[in-house]
Amino acid sequence: MDGLPVIESHTKEVVAKPTASSIFPQPTREPEETNEVTFVPSNERSNERRKVRHTFDILADQLLALRELVIEREKISGERVLLGELVQEALDMFITKERNKDVTNVRTNTYGKPEKSR
72-105: pLDDT as tens digits:
999 999 999 999 999 999 999 999 999 998 665 5
| Residue 24 included in any domain | no
Angstrom distance (rounded) from CA 77 to CA 26:
57
| Residue 38 included in any domain | no
| Residue 5 included in any domain | no
27-42: pLDDT as tens digits:
666 666 666 666 666 6
| Residue 1 included in any domain | no
| Residue 10 included in any domain | no
| Residue 90 included in any domain | yes
More confident position, 17 or 73: 73
- Looking at residue 46, its pLDDT comes to 73
Residue range(s) defining the domain that contains residue 76: 60-101
Provide the number of structural domains found in the chain: 1
SS (H, E, C) the chain: CCCCCCCCCCCCCCCCCCCHHHHCCCCCCCCCCCCCCCCCCCCCCCCCCCCCCCCCCCCHHHHHHHHHHHHHHHHHHCCCCCHHHHHHHHHHHHHHHHHCCCHHHCCECCCCCECCCC
- Looking at residue 111, its pLDDT comes to 60
More confident position, 16 or 89: 89
CA dihedral 35→41→44→47, nearest 10 degrees, is 50
More confident position, 106 or 66: 66
CA dihedral 25→30→36→39, nearest 10 degrees, is 60
Task: Report the range of poorest mean pLDDT among 57-61, 68-72, 91-95, 104-108.
Answer: 104-108
